[in-house]
Structure 1
């Protein structure tokens, strides 16, 4: 196996045993990801990251001894230089901003689907950043100027945007729309280009603005 074929090595930092078990369950069934360790508090997470040198650390924001923000700052800095994806039960704009400022490559909610969390890990590893569409929509819902969707928006694109707004991954959308995952990726890329949006989270906000997501 070459380095390019090697699985993404993930360290989980989570103090809740039920959450650890759930993450372990779905990551263990993901061939291109290997869970190399689980830390039960922030200080242990930093120590394990220094020893194991993971590619990505999945960090719970609220942990004893060191919180997830400080863990993120330390594991993304030399000499560890890992990518970090923060996740939490409840997100807010201040916590999201702080996480990004200290080096997080993603911010997800624990209510996001396993497929989206896996997508977030892959995105961080490849150098991209993913913020939960649910979180973006929640933060912007009260500030968005609601408007009707463009008249030329096709029924297929309306449905696609609505599913993105619900926080579904490409695989879940492909299953819902009975299309190949590669086709969905192409359609999402076209929407990003067409509406000049930087990322998937911005498309989710657009879906809420155009009332394409059921409240």
Structure 2
């Protein structure tokens, strides 16, 4: 008989842990080597037992503990295959798990045969992603790519604004009214209107409402606050 697949379970729910132990004990190709109830304990047992596969719960002592443990384990023991466990998956969390090097992703309530198959697929380098998980990775990748493109695009436009326009935009993003901006900057409404029109033209937009929400979503106000005075801007 070939060497059994050594599996470590990292799960803080004793009932789920017991269920997985029972499932694994029924398969002659799998050897159950231990359980851990926290990310820290999981990392220690991974070093001690050197399992082939780890079934890793994402939410252990906190919501990110499983991801941290995964990162730690794969940094020092990259040969280990990690299959993530969760009760509900979000696009972002699924993507983050695979970004860290997880091999597969399982919902905790999946049937016994699906859990065993996922372990064997991971061991033999044949990860078979469930269709909904694959879709989530694709969607999150597209979302990140779009956000990056949008950030670069909008940041480039910001570098084209004059210091005066940048200051006006900053006040608009802080929800100051046009009247308040005129008072603060000691300018006539017609002057402010001209400055805002110039900003809109550079962003190729017809209203401030089209710009501000996008810039907020990309955390542009925070970037501006951190880099104030450091941007290479034109004369204003």
TM-score between the two structures when normalised by the length of structure 2: 0.54
Is 1:34 the counterpart of 2:31 in the alignment? Answer: yes
Bigger drift between 15-24 and 70-79 goes to 70-79
The offset of 1:87, in angstroms, is 1.1
Residue 169 of structure 1 is matched in structure 2 by: none
The offset of 1:138, in angstroms, is 8.0
Residue 100 of structure 1 is matched in structure 2 by: 98
2:120 corresponds to which of 119, 122, 126: 122
For residues 164-184 of structure 1, the C-alpha deviation after alignment (integer angstroms, 9 at most, x for no partner) is xxxxxxxxxxxxxxxxxxxxx
Higher helix share: 2
* Cα distance between partner residues in 2 of 1:137 and 1:54: 29
CA contact (8 A) 1:50 1:80 kept: no
RMSD (Å), alpha carbons:
2.2
Higher alpha-carbon Rg:
2
* Cα distance between partner residues in 2 of 1:40 and 1:129: 25
The offset of 1:11, in angstroms, is 0.4
* Structure 2: 5+ residue stretches without partners: 139-236
Structure with larger RCO (C-alpha < 8 A, sep 6+)? 1
1:1-215 equivalences under 5 Å are 1=1, 5-64=2-61, 67-79=65-77, 81-136=79-134
CA contact (8 A) 2:11 2:35 kept: yes
